[in-house]
């Protein structure tokens, strides 16, 4: 091989080496940028997983760590929600040690008194009467109004005037907004929306159908 051919070969090899270095550098930078973006903002699945775990401030029947953790996003003026909540209560009575039931607020804008009812349940919950308020509101769902909510509060032992004043308290409203915003982040578009161990349940709302579903986890 003459000198000219050798020089040409060296130039070709040099060009290849430079290209390999450039491509490797670009790949490294792209990979590093992707890792940085992944570390700085959790993926939607991670956020959803965090939202669908039982929290210390949840309204809970049962205990965290149960084999079947059921989270219900609900509206106190939604007829299907009343039925679902009754079914979930029956499920809990059958499996008090294996199932945990969580109620979260998702009052729909077309239900005039759903938000007020949710606020009332938060006020009652502060005195350990969340589930009593929850059950009584659903029983009286067809005639629910602001006045009826106060009637229910009075029947549960609350001072009517004091309770009415608390209905305007930002603290209780914010508790409802917290659930509502979380539901919006989950892209909820209907009530009830039920999750069993983080997976959305799409079956019938009767007790037996829900029990058949949770048996997968028992």
Lowest mean pLDDT among 4-13, 130-139, 160-169: 4-13
Residue 71 buriedness (CB in 10 A; 0-12 / 13-18 / 19+): buried
- Check whether 6 has a pLDDT greater than 60: no
The answer on 211 and 174 residing in a single domain is: yes
Q: What is the CATH number of the domain that holds 213?
A: 3.40.30.10
pLDDT in tens, 15-69: 565 444 545 543 443 344 334 433 433 444 566 777 899 999 999 999 999 999 9
The answer on 207 and 122 residing in a single domain is: yes
Domain that residue 135 falls in: 50-217
pLDDT in tens, 144-192: 999 999 999 999 999 999 999 999 999 999 999 999 999 999 999 999 9
**Structural domain total, the chain:** 2
d(CA 177, CA 159): 25
The answer on 92 and 191 residing in a single domain is: yes
The answer on 187 and 119 residing in a single domain is: yes
C-beta separation of 191 from 80 below 8 A: yes
């Amino acid at each position: 091989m003459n000198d000219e051919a050798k020089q040409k070969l060296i130039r070709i090899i040099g060009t290849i080496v430079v290209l390999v270095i450039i491509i490797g550098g670009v790949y490294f930078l792209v990979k590093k940028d992707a890792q940085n973006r992944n570390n700085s903002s959790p993926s939607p699945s991670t956020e959803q997983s965090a939202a669908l775990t039982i929290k210390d401030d949840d309204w809970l029947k049962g205990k965290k760590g149960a084999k079947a953790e059921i989270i219900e996003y609900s509206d106190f003026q939604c007829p299907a929600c009343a039925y679902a909540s009754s079914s979930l209560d029956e499920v809990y009575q059958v499996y008090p040690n294996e199932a945990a039931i969580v109620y979260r607020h998702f009052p729909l804008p077309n239900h005039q008194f759903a938000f007020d009812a949710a606020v009332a349940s938060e006020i009652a919950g502060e005195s350990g009467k969340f589930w009593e308020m929850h059950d009584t509101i659903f029983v009286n769902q067809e005639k629910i109004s602001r006045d009826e909510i106060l009637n229910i509060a009075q029947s549960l032992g609350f001072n009517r005037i004091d309770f009415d004043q608390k209905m305007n308290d930002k603290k209780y409203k914010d508790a409802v907004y917290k659930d509502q915003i979380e539901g919006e982040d989950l892209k909820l578009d209907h009530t009830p929306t039920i999750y069993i161990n983080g997976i959305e349940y799409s079956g019938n709302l009767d007790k037996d159908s829900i029990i058949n579903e949770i048996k997968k986890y028992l």
